[in-house]
């Protein structure tokens, strides 16, 4: 992460140390080749059937390309990127399972608690799918059957202890946010937590678990831990409390000795994890997670890495160059820079590296020349809803929709109902092509935020606002070419753009002041809505009043 790339290094020719001799004898064909970078084959774990089951997580058209990418990773580094709805997290989860099969335990992270939660869920789901695919046709008890991997979502030890004790006292608890009641707010969630797995291992009747129990395909580590707990006589009292044989008063607490035993069991879940998912800060602040990172982790995987700071990646990755996979989309939300233009009383900026801080790990490695695995098939949004975003934000990437995106899919029924309502309510709105669903006409000048905002829906999108705001000077004009008057524009016609002049609109900034910003992508998107007659204009009547105020809309 401190270098300037390897492409030039691999392709440059050697020369003599003596300048004059170098100039006279320099030739590309008679120089010794530069040694290539070492690479890792993540499918080389001596189980071709399991490797095929993992590669099958990719679309049939992408499986050969995915296999080739995973078998030759320079420095063990891989990057998966694509637009929203292309299955980045699923592909990253499959790659993470390959790293686990090849290298061992994997530390998984992300820029936020939400991203880590989603990543943990996807790894577990993919592990279930791949294991079921591999075990198909193999009878129970067959020693060749594969087991599911143990995915643990790491939280604060205090939260795990409190949550476990709460569910022992009240197994019928149904509020998933019980730890955040009152003034205490925590990102803790039961699913995949250490408390969750320990409750299952100790046969808890908690309603949250919905009767879930270990089966033959669950992690061997969980079965061994259950056997170990049930053989220990000193844990008899704790087992009775968890199973409900002995009631624990609502306000009672465990003895110091029992509390230590419980904490030790929770730690044992983490130490047995195949995939530990937690935030970068937790890997430094929590002693157990830091120990796991430094002693157990053999590879690193990061989801939403385009929204992560490079310092956070360095915090997780360390300085030992472990195999690492990153997933994300640089065209979506960038890393957060908390201090932007703040300065001290002398005018010195607190953060002089704000622009460097907006460069994510994915953007950095892309710039240094590392090969990228890019997904090309839209899998989430109905056919047509992604067309204009693809043309505006991703013009260099060919777009194709997967079979699941056909508008005849029952999952998009609400989109057809929305389209029918709009066509009936606003006859001037043109219908989309028969095999597509289109958006129907939110100020957002930032193209990355605009990308996120317009790609969350699956089958319908209605944008409410004034379409003239981004610069549509005349309603009948399909081209947004209005330029704010400024010095140097004198004598130019209203809709002309001077050399080097960007189209801008006035907006309120974060400090409450007014400033001009360029909204090229938003202007282009609104232009497409207008050209394709996907704008419904609502005119407020005189009797449309709310609490004495006239309602205006357009």
160 and 80 belong to one structural domain: no
In a domain, 3, yes or no: no
Helix 88-103 / helix 48-55 crossing angle, nearest 10 deg: 160
416 and 546 belong to one structural domain: yes
113 and 136 belong to one structural domain: yes
Helix, strand, coil shares, percent, the chain, to 5? 40, 10, 50
Are the C-beta atoms of residues 62 and 377 closer than 8 Å to each other?
yes
pLDDT score for 173:
83
Distance from C-alpha of 156 to C-alpha of 278, rounded to nearest angstrom: 10
Are the C-beta atoms of residues 57 and 129 closer than 8 Å to each other?
yes
pLDDT score for 459:
56
DSSP secondary structure string, 175-206? -TTGGGSTT------STTSHHHHHHHHTT---
How many folded domains does the chain comprise? Answer: 3
Half-sphere exposure of 89 (CA within 13 A, CB side): 19
Are the C-beta atoms of residues 191 and 121 closer than 8 Å to each other?
yes
Distance from C-alpha of 168 to C-alpha of 238, rounded to nearest angstrom: 10
Distance from C-alpha of 171 to C-alpha of 173, rounded to nearest angstrom: 6
pLDDT score for 285:
92
pLDDT score for 59:
94
In a domain, 29, yes or no: no
The Cα-based distances of 23 to 16, 26, 33, 515 in angstroms read: 9, 5, 19, 55
268 and 180 belong to one structural domain: yes
In a domain, 499, yes or no: yes
412 and 457 belong to one structural domain: yes
pLDDT per position in the chain (554 positions), as tens?
Answer: 555 555 455 544 443 445 555 555 555 555 656 678 889 999 999 899 999 999 999 999 999 999 999 999 999 999 999 999 999 999 999 999 999 999 999 999 999 999 999 999 999 999 999 999 999 999 988 999 999 999 999 999 999 999 999 899 888 887 777 777 766 688 999 999 999 999 999 999 998 888 889 999 999 999 999 999 999 999 999 999 999 888 877 667 788 899 999 999 999 999 999 999 999 999 999 999 999 999 999 999 999 999 999 999 999 998 889 999 999 999 888 888 877 778 888 888 888 888 888 899 999 999 988 899 999 999 888 898 888 888 888 888 888 999 989 888 888 888 888 888 888 887 888 888 888 888 765 444 456 655 665 555 555 656 555 555 555 444 444 433 333 344 444 444 444 444 444 566 666 555 556 666 666 776 777 777 777 777 776 555 545 444 444 333 33
pTM, rounded to two decimals: 0.78
Domain boundary among 227, 244, 273: 273
Q: Could you tell me where the beta strands, DSSP code E, fall in 377-524?
A: 377-378, 400-401, 504-508, 514-518
DSSP secondary structure string, 126-142? HHHHHHHHHHTTPPTT-
156 and 87 belong to one structural domain: no
268 and 173 belong to one structural domain: yes
Quote the domain boundaries for residue 537.
406-550
Token couple for 268: 């044992």
Radius of gyration from C-alpha coordinates of the chain: 29
pLDDT score for 5:
53
Largest CA distance in the chain: 93
In a domain, 24, yes or no: no
53 and 164 belong to one structural domain: no
CATH number at residue 333: 3.40.50.300
In a domain, 52, yes or no: yes
In a domain, 396, yes or no: no
Are the C-beta atoms of residues 292 and 270 closer than 8 Å to each other?
yes
Are the C-beta atoms of residues 57 and 91 closer than 8 Å to each other?
yes
Q: Which helix (H) or strand (E) holds 100?
A: helix 88-103
pLDDT score for 60:
94
Report residue 242 CA to chain centroid gap: 36
371 and 420 belong to one structural domain: no
112 and 63 belong to one structural domain: yes
Pairing of strands 77-81, 106-109: unpaired
pLDDT score for 537:
66
Domain boundary among 248, 273, 298: 273
pLDDT score for 262:
94
In a domain, 9, yes or no: no
Strand partners, 106: 275, 299
247 and 296 belong to one structural domain: no
In a domain, 79, yes or no: yes
Strand partners, 514: 508
pLDDT score for 467:
53
DSSP secondary structure string, 151-183? EEE---HHHHHHHHHHHHH-TT---TTGGGSTT
257 and 296 belong to one structural domain: no
């Amino acid at each position: 992460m401190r270098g300037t790339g390897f492409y030039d290094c691999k392709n440059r020719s050697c020369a003599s140390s003596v300048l004059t001799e170098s100039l006279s004898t320099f030739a590309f064909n008679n120089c010794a080749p530069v040694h290539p970078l070492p690479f890792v084959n993540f499918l080389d774990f001596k189980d071709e059937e399991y490797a095929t089951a993992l590669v099958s997580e990719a679309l049939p058209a992408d499986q050969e390309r995915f296999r080739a990418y995973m078998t030759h990773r320079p420095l063990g580094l891989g990057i998966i990127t694509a637009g929203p709805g292309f299955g980045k997290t699923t592909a990253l989860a499959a790659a993470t399972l390959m790293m686990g099969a090849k290298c061992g335990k994997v530390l998984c992270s992300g820029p936020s608690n939400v991203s880590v939660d989603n990543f943990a869920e996807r790894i577990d789901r993919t592990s279930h799918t791949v294991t079921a695919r591999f075990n198909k046709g193999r009878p129970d008890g067959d020693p060749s059957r594969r087991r599911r991997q143990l995915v643990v979502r790491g939280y604060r030890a205090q939260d795990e202890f409190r949550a476990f004790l709460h569910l022992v006292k009240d197994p019928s608890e149904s509020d998933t946010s019980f730890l955040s009641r009152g003034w205490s707010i925590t990102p803790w969630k039961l699913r995949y937590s250490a408390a969750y797995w320990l409750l299952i291992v100790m046969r808890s009747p908690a309603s949250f678990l919905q009767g879930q129990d270990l089966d033959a395909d669950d992690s061997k580590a969980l079965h061994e831990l259950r056997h170990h707990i049930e053989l220990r006589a000193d844990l008899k009292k704790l087992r009775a409390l968890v199973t409900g044989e002995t009631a624990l008063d609502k306000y009672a607490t465990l003895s110091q000795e029992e509390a230590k035993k419980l904490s030790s069991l929770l730690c044992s879940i983490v130490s047995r994890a195949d995939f530990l998912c937690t935030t970068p800060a937790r890997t430094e602040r929590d002693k157990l997670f830091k120990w796991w990172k430094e002693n157990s982790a053999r590879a690193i995987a990061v989801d939403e890495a385009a929204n992560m700071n490079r310092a956070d990646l360095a915090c997780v990755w360390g300085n030992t160059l472990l195999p690492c996979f990153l997933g994300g989309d640089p065209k979506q939300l960038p890393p957060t820079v908390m201090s932007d233009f703040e300065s001290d009383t002398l005018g010195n900026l607190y953060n002089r590296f704000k622009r460097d801080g907006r460069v994510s790990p994915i953007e950095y490695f892309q710039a240094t020349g590392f090969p990228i695995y890019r997904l090309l098939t839209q899998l989430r949004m109905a056919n047509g809803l992604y067309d204009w975003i693809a043309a505006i934000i991703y013009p260099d990437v060919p777009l194709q929709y997967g079979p699941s995106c056909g508008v005849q899919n029952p999952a998009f029924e609400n989109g057809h109902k929305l389209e029918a309502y709009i066509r009936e309510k606003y006859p001037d709105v043109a219908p989309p092509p028969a095999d597509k669903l289109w958006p129907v006409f939110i100020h957002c000048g930032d193209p990355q935020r605009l990308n996120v905002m317009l790609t969350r829906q699956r089958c319908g999108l209605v944008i409410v606002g004034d379409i003239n705001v981004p610069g549509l000077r005349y309603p009948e004009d399909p081209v947004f070419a209005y330029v704010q008057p400024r010095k140097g524009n004198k004598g130019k016609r209203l809709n002309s753009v001077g050399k080097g002049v960007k189209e801008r609109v006035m907006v309120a900034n974060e400090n409450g002041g007014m400033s001009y910003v360029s909204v090229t992508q938003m202007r282009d998107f609104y232009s497409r809505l207008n050209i394709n007659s996907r704008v419904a204009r609502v005119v407020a009547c005189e009797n449309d009043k709310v609490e004495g105020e006239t309602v205006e809309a357009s």
